[in-house]
Every structure is written in C-alpha cells, then in structure tokens.
Homo-oligomer: A and B are copies of this chain.
C-alpha cells in the first residue's frame, strides 16, 4: 500500500485526486493540501481522505505518506520539490517543473542527492494513440525516422490571468510537443527555430506572448521536425502527430466524439474531436498515475524523468530566444 499526498488543489490537483479515488485504488490518498482549501469545502467535504489542510508541510512531514503529487502553480514547484525530496518522498510534479532553468537544475540536484524518485507530468505520453504510434516506430514499421510533425491546437484560449502566468505559448503549450517529439524520435533536439504571430482577437502583445506558432527543429541524428500551435481551433482540440521514415509514414489522428457519419445534399459529414484535454486525455491522466505507482513500487523505470522535464523547458526557452532574435538557436541540453 502506498500512501499519497496531493499538494495543490486547482483543476489538475482535483482531477488527479478524483482519478486516484476512482481508478487507481493501489494508491491511498492520506492527505491533501491547498492554502485555499477552505474555499473548496463543497468538493473537499465528501472525500474519504484523512488529512485535509491548508499547509502543505503537514503532508511533507507526515511519515506515513510515501509519495506526493505536486500540483501547485509552477512557481511553487521547486521549493516544494526540495522539501519533499529532503523528506524522502517519491515525487510526481506537474509540468513545467519551473520556468527558471537554474531552479530546475537545483531541484534535480537535490533529487539526485536524496535519491528520491521523481516523475514529470507529461500526460500525453500515456495517450493510447501516441503509445501505439511509439510502439510501431520501435518495432520498425517505418524504418529510420526522417521527420516528425506535430499539430497541437487548443479549442479556445484561456483567460488573460492564466496567460500572464503561463510562461508563454512555448512553455505552456509547445512544451508538451517538445516532449512528444523527443519521446517518439528517442533523440535530442539540437537546434530550433520558432516563428510566432498574434492572429487571434485576443491581444497578447502587451504580455509579450503569441497565439500562433510554427516551430522548425533538427535532432542530433538528423531527423527534422515541425510543430504548429494555435490557441484557438474552433472545431476542438486538434492533436495529431506524423512520423515519416525510410519504410513509410505513421500518424496518430484525432479521435472523434462518436462514429456517426452522414451523407446529405451538402456532402459527407462526420464528427468533431473531443473538446479539450480533459476529454481527450481522460484515460492518459489515469494511466500516468498508474505508471507513477509502478515506478514508486519498483515495477518499472522512471516513465518521464527530471531530465525530460528540464530539457523541454530548455527547448521552450530556445524558442523564445529564436523568436526574439529571429534566428535558429542551438539547444544546449546538458
């Protein structure tokens, strides 16, 4: 039995808590913490959890708790990681570890010293479609990969308050795609070039952000890549990947909300993709916690390491620099 504490009870903290209670009974949630827990009484009260506190130190210092999920705003991740590592907890931390590379390295150093387990929350690696894609590549279906292309578009932009703290499109959205590209190609991006624009009605120029991006990059092994991102695809969450290689091309296409199709005078109609990440990655969020359980209990290697978490931020920062300086940037990922 592994006892768990959840720190941070925003949208993703609540999602993980509910997923564990319903779908990952291998974990027992012993405690949850959030400074604003008093405002969440509707949700908190019914939960079969012993410790419900506004002070996350009560989780960290609880000797019965073996592992923590860190779901706070990202600027609080690193201090809590360090505390949890010193308390010898296994740690699952949401992405990005931090928007500050030095801080991330500092956290990873402590994790290394304390020899605690650490997993980063790139949920998409657990999507069944992307996993099947990865499996086929590993089995050699398309031979040597030559290109990877990722489309990742949100259905609608978040509110301005969120956007201001998000770290910008590259560190908030594209970061998932950097991780996916590295996961599928199994190599490191060495150079990246980013184009970005403000094309939507929302105006992000004041906060020095963009709403649309086209990113071009190269792996050490010569594989070429492209990512396109938009904050607003009116038809729903667009999540597609294609990898092209010496023996063919393989892709993971969008899911559809159902399989109904029709033919009318207007043509052939079928369905939209699921609306957003909660719908599309519902099972992936569960499966990343099952993987965390297996990792914590020694049944598997780390699914997504601290280094993975670091590199994706390094790449995101390189994109920011590329956009600012209008040139390709070498990614120094050591």
Interface set of A (CB-CB < 8 Å, partner B)? 22-23, 128-129, 132-133, 136, 141-142, 144, 146-147, 149, 153, 193, 195-200, 212-218, 222-226, 228, 230, 232-236, 238, 244, 246-273, 326-328
Q: Give bound CA distance, A327 to B193, whole Å.
A: 9
Selected from B195, B199, B328, the residue in CB contact (under 8 A) with A144 is: B199
The contact sample of 26 A-B pairs, CB cut-off 8 A, is A129-B260, A132-B271, A142-B264, A146-B197, A146-B199, A149-B228, A153-B244, A195-B216, A198-B222, A215-B216, A226-B226, A232-B246, A234-B246, A234-B247, A234-B264, A234-B265, A235-B249, A236-B263, A248-B262, A252-B260, A252-B261, A263-B273, A265-B272, A267-B272, A268-B270, A268-B272
A250 x B244 contact (CB < 8 A): no
Selected from B224, B248, B261, B326, the residue in CB contact (under 8 A) with A328 is: B326
B228 x A224 contact (CB < 8 A): yes
B244 x A233 contact (CB < 8 A): yes
Q: Give bound CA distance, A234 to B263, whole Å.
A: 9
Give the copy number. Answer: 4
Q: Give bound CA distance, A254 to B260, whole Å.
A: 9
Chain B residues lying within 8 Å of A198, measured Cβ to Cβ, are 222
Given contact pairs A238-B249, A252-B258, enumerate 18 new A-B contacts (beta carbons under 8 Å). Answer: A129-B258, A129-B260, A144-B199, A146-B197, A147-B230, A216-B216, A216-B226, A230-B244, A233-B249, A233-B263, A235-B248, A235-B267, A252-B260, A263-B272, A265-B272, A267-B272, A268-B272, A269-B269
